[in-house]
């Protein structure tokens, strides 16, 4: 309950179960209070998801405009509802959305919460008191031509589209950080590794460029997945038959909603199918899992490459952001990649939740869309914060010891791979084994055996050539 409800005065509201006292300051009403008392699950409220509140306001606003256009809602009520929704869409009264995001009822409680807040604000705009529903009613007017089963899913679609935009921007920031390091370390040669064993030389810049490319691919796949959530079922009402919605309402509501949101929304060609199907969220959640896993793999690489500083790979040095141990002085841990790894694991869990909730839907409605919306919303929010944290507190501050990396390349047995075309596999293997067992360098042994001239050897084993640097 909002901390602003201080007077102790109440108003009485009635529903099918009976009467309840509502704080006079509250914009929510009896249906919201019953749901608040029933669902205390996450310790959070709908106010923590402003994208969903904004989307609900736009859905109700579009519905009011369509209802007025079709002659079902008079001008004064339509204007008041429109103004109330506009105010909420811009951030007003979000603290009045007091319900837990995980709830039974397929989102009915959330829809009721929105109807009541909008109705009571609209009543004030008309010069009435909160709760004077004889003048403007949450269900009869704000919810006119709607059901939770089309208003709530439509709002979730829109909210998901809104919430994905910050993640797309955050991935772009992270990709930019990797590209910047790719340019900075373009000529810094190091050993590449496969299966954690020395492979062939590459540059640190090439490593970062690879990460930047994979982030760009994931960003493109995520943007593509949003096309599925632009198809809405507003106008379906209870199960998709459009019962209690007038002819032309679905088209009019969608048109107004496109104008209000700026999104390319379309009405589903089959509203019965659309009302029961949550496949778009299954797909989007799967893409979020892909993004999370790819970023987590980058973090695994960062932790490996920065291991040490003396007894590990130590190819790169991560910026020190905090002390690493309460007992080991001077120890610094890769805490930023570690926290992003944990975000990724959480996203994988959210994806499983979405999968099971989608499968659990029955007949003409999926009752578990609240946990789908909550899970995807958390994945989007946490991945957005994780990408920005990884870029700003880790990638941007990475440094390397160029000379130490070059020495490792020059002493690596992996260099023998470049000799294979000239010496053959058997001779190259023999050189590699002797270098491994004696600790001597590959170049030293090739010269000693007279297999190549010094000039040929220098050309073949040039790290810059091996890494395919153009200059």
Complete DSSP assignment for 301-314: HHHHHT--SSSS--
Residue that is written with structure tokens 């490319």 in the block: 213
121 and 164 housed in the same domain: no
The residue annotated as part of the active site, out of 12, 227, 323, 325, is: 325
For position 20, what pLDDT does the model report?
92
CA 38 to chain CA centroid, Å, is 29
Higher pLDDT, 321 or 404: 404
Alpha helices in 198-321 (DSSP H): 204-225, 249-261, 271-276, 279-305
Q: How far apart are CA 160 and CA 104, in angstroms?
A: 20
CATH of the domain at 448: 1.10.40.30
Q: Is 160 exposed, middle or buried (0-12, 13-18, 19+ CB in 10 A)?
A: buried
> Does a structural domain hold residue 157?
yes
Over range 150-169, report the average pLDDT. Answer: 97
CATH of the domain at 80: 1.10.275.10
Do 303 and 342 meet the contact criterion of CB atoms below 8 Å apart?
Answer: no
Q: What is the pLDDT of residues 95-128, one digit of tens each?
A: 999 999 999 989 999 999 999 999 999 999 999 9
194 and 125 housed in the same domain: no
Q: Is 453 exposed, middle or buried (0-12, 13-18, 19+ CB in 10 A)?
A: exposed
Structurally, how many domains does the chain consist of? Answer: 3
Domain with 439, as residue range(s), is: 413-467
Q: What is the mean pLDDT of the chain?
A: 92
At 471, is the pLDDT very low, low, confident or very high (cuts 50, 70, 90)?
A: low
Half-sphere exposure of 447 (CA within 13 A, CB side): 13
Over range 237-260, report the average pLDDT. Answer: 94
Q: What is the pLDDT of residues 287-299, one digit of tens each?
A: 999 999 999 999 9
Over range 196-200, report the average pLDDT. Answer: 87
189 and 41 housed in the same domain: no
Do 459 and 465 meet the contact criterion of CB atoms below 8 Å apart?
Answer: yes
433 and 374 housed in the same domain: no
> Does a structural domain hold residue 131?
yes
Backbone angles phi, psi at 72, to 5 degrees: -90, -20
Q: Is 325 a catalytic residue?
A: yes
At 1, is the pLDDT very low, low, confident or very high (cuts 50, 70, 90)?
A: very low
- Of 129, 144, 159, the domain-final residue: 144
How open is the CA angle 331-334-335, to the nearest 5 degrees?
Answer: 105
Pairing of strands 10-14, 189-194: unpaired
Task: Answer yes or no: is pLDDT of 394 > 80.
Answer: yes
For position 5, what pLDDT does the model report?
55
To the question of pTM greater than 0.85 for the whole model, the response is yes
Task: Answer yes or no: is pLDDT of 323 > 70.
Answer: yes
For position 416, what pLDDT does the model report?
83
């Amino acid at each position: 309950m909002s901390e602003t409800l201080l007077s102790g005065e109440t108003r009485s509201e009635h529903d099918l179960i009976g009467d309840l006292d509502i704080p006079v300051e509250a914009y929510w009403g009896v249906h919201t209070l019953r749901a608040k008392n029933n669902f205390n699950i996450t310790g959070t409220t709908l106010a923590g998801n402003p994208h969903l509140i904004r989307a609900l306001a736009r859905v109700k606003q579009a519905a009011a405009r369509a209802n007025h256009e079709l002659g079902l809602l008079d001008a004064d009520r339509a204007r008041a509802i429109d103004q109330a929704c506009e105010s909420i869409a811009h951030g007003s009264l979000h603290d009045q959305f007091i319900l837990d995001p995980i709830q039974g009822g397929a989102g009915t409680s959330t829809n009721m919460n929105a109807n009541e807040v909008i109705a009571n604000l609209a009543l004030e705009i008309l010069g009435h008191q909160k709760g004077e529903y004889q003048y403007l009613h949450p269900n009869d007017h704000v919810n006119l031509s709607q059901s939770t089963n089309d208003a709530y899913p439509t709002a979730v679609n829109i909210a998901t589209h809104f919430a994905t935009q910050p993640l797309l921007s955050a991935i772009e920031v992270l990709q930019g950080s990797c590209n910047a390091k790719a340019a900075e370390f373009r000529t810094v040669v190091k050993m590449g590794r496969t299966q954690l064993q020395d492979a062939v030389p590459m540059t640190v810049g090439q490593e970062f460029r690879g990460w930047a490319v994979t982030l760009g691919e994931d960003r493109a796949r995520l943007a593509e997945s949003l096309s599925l959530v632009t198809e809405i079922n507003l106008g379906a009402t209870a199960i998709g038959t459009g019962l209690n919605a007038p002819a032309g309402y679905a088209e009019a509501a969608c048109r107004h909603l496109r104008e209000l949101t700026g999104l390319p929304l379309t009405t589903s060609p089959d509203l019965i199918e659309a009302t029961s199907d949550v496949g778009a969220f299954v797909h989007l959640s799967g893409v979020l899992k892909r993004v999370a896993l790819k970023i987590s793999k980058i973090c695994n690489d960062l932790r490996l490459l920065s291991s040490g500083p003396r007894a590990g790979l130590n190819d790169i040095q991560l910026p020190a952001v905090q002390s690493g141990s309460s007992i080991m002085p001077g120890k610094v841990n890769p805490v930023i990649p570690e926290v992003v790894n944990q975000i990724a694991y959480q996203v994988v869990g959210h994806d499983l939740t979405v999968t099971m909730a989608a499968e659990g839907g029955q007949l003409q409605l999926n009752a578990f869309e609240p946990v789908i919306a909550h899970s995807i919303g958390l994945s989007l929010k946490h991945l957005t914060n994780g990408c920005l944290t990884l870029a700003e507190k880790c990638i941007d501050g990475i440094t390397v010891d160029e000379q130490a990396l070059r020495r490792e390349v020059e002493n690596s047995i992996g260099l023998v791979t470049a000799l294979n075309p000239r010496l053959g596999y058997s001779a190259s293997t023999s050189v590699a084994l002797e270098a491994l067992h004696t600790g001597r360098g590959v170049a030293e042994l090739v010269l000693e055996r007279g297999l190549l001239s010094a000039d040929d050897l220098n050309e073949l084993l040039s790290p810059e050539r091996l890494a395919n640097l153009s200059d």
